[in-house]
């Protein structure tokens, strides 16, 4: 078990953003499932024969054993100390959860049944609302890291949710941009993106009555994919149950296309972008449009796009490929349905 009280949040006065210092994460184990010739030996903590994976479940939420942020830390996020009357530090308050997709250790998101993905969508909603009700929290980030190249150490199909007592800087930038657009144009910035992509058609890879999947015109990663609900929702929890089937279907088909692109399970970061919460009135973030963004690191079958130099130091991305051509590659894949 980690020691959450080691964790703290430090303020970067130059970029004006919070940085999490989580010493307990250096002792995370590297685990997997191993087999012997005679009898399987299970070392995955999320499989049904382990204490954490035990029970009758389709999807399951667990507390993260080695959280970057924790509710167990004493005090409130507002409690601030200063070093030399300059550097600012606050308690590493928050909540980090593991969200298990399936009892099957070998399944990927693309291989789950539609009913299984619908159950996962309901779990995403349930845990989001739970954390939203914590008055100290401001933002919940749902995500999946997949593939060793992304840094994954546990290969059982799972994602995570980090709930922050502040708005992460990239999210804050997007929120501010959508608010400006709303105030200047009286409409949603993301709805305008949907409208423009549907007019163009060249970057769309999947579409149904309720959702659209496309490589954006401004993609930073070669095979970056965004999934937008066509109706305007600020939070995943607002998506009605009657759209769950189409939501699950577009997620499954989109990931299937990535996995069939080069003939191997595509590593990625699969990220949900909700509006912040617990700031002002309930509808303060009606201008923001919930969506999913997927970042696969491959730019060709045997080539990785690494983040270095210009991109790491200036946060200015260079896409070495053409989004329209990449979208056609994915769109033309004949899915094994």
**The token pair that represents 231 in the structure block:** 């109706």
Nearest to 141 by CA among 236, 61, 66: 236
User: What does each C-alpha distance from 162 to 174, 249, 256 come to in angstroms?
Assistant: 18, 25, 26
- Token code pair at residue 112: 């789950």
> SS3 for 114?
helix
C-beta of residue 228 within 8 angstroms of C-beta of residue 206: no
Q: What is the β-pairing status of strands 87-91 and 81-83?
A: antiparallel
- On the question of pLDDT at 144 being above 50, the answer is yes
Can you give the pLDDT at residue 318? Answer: 95
| Structure-model confidence comparison of residues 300 and 29, the more confident one | 300
DSSP 130-166: HHHT-TT--EEEEEEEESGGGT----SSEEEEEEESS
- What's the mean pLDDT in 8-32? 80
Q: Is the pLDDT of residue 168 over 80?
A: yes
38: tokens are: 């005679």
Our measurement of the distance from residue 187's CA atom to the centroid of its chain's CA atoms, rounded to an integer in Å, reads 26
Question: Residue 204 pLDDT more than 90?
Answer: yes
Is pLDDT of 23 > 90? no
Question: Residue range 285-297: average pLDDT?
Answer: 97
How far is 175 from 238, CA to CA, in rounded Å? 18
User: Residue 209's pLDDT band (boundaries 50, 70, 90)?
Assistant: very high
What does residue 174 show for φ and ψ, rounded to 5 degrees?
-65, -40
Residues 6+ apart with CB under 8 A from 115: 248
pLDDT for 48: 93
Instruction: Name the pLDDT band for 25 (thresholds 50, 70, 90).
Output: low
**pLDDT surpasses 70 at 87:** yes
DSSP letter, residue 285: T
Within 10 angstroms of residue 227's Cβ, the number of other Cβ atoms is 21
Superfamily name with CATH number, domain 43-64+98-337: HIT-like (3.30.428.10)
Q: Does the pLDDT value for residue 39 go beyond 50?
A: no
* Position 4 pLDDT exceeds 50: no
Strands 291-295 and 268-273: antiparallel
Model confidence pLDDT, tens digit, residues 95-108: 999 999 999 999 99
User: Given a cut of 70, is residue 335 above it in pLDDT?
Assistant: yes
Which DSSP helix (H) or strand (E) runs through 300?
Answer: strand 298-300
CA atoms within a 13 Å half-sphere pointing along the CA-CB vector of 187:
9
Write the CB contacts of 137 (distance below 8 Å, at least 6 apart in sequence).
94, 95, 131, 163, 164, 165, 277, 278
The alpha helices in the chain, defined as continuous H runs, are 114-132, 169-185, 189-200, 244-261, 309-314, 323-331
């Amino acid at each position: 078990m980690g020691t959450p009280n080691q964790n703290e949040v430090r303020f970067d006065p130059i970029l004006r953003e919070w940085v999490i210092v989580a010493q307990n994460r250096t002792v995370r184990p590297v685990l997997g499932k191993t087999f012997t010739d005679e009898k399987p030996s299970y070392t995955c903590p999320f499989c049904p024969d382990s204490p954490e994976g035990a029970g009758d479940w389709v999807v399951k939420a667990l507390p993260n054993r080695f959280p970057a942020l924790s509710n167990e830390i004493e005090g409130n996020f507002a409690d601030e100390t200063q070093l030399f009357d300059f550097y600012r530090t606050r308690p590493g308050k928050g909540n980090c959860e593991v969200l298990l997709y399936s009892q099957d250790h070998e399944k990927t998101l693309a291989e789950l049944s539609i009913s299984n993905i619908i159950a996962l969508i309901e779990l995403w909603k349930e845990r989001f609302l739970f954390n939203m009700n914590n008055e100290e929290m401001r933002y919940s980030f749902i995500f999946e890291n997949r593939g060793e190249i992304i840094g994954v150490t546990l290969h059982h199909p799972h994602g995570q949710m980090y709930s922050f007592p502040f708005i992460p800087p990239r999210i804050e930038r997007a929120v501010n941009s959508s608010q400006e657009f709303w105030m200047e144009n009286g409409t949603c910035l993301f709805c305008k993106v949907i409208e423009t992509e549907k007019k163009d058609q060249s970057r769309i890879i999947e579409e149904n009555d309720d959702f659209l999947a496309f490589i954006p015109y401004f993609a930073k990663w070669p095979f970056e994919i965004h999934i937008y609900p066509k109706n305007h929702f600020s939070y995943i929890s607002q998506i009605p149950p009657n759209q769950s089937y189409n939501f699950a279907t577009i997620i499954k088909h989109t990931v299937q296309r990535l996995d069939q692109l080069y003939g191997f399970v595509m590593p990625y970061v699969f990220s949900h972008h909700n509006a912040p919460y617990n700031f002002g009135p309930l509808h303060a973030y009606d201008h923001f449009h919930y969506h999913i963004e997927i970042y696969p690191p491959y730019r060709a079958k045997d080539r990785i796009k690494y983040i270095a130099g210009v991109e790491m130091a200036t946060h200015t991305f260079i896409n070495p490929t053409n989004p329209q051509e990449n979208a056609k590659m994915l769109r033309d894949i004949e899915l094994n349905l």
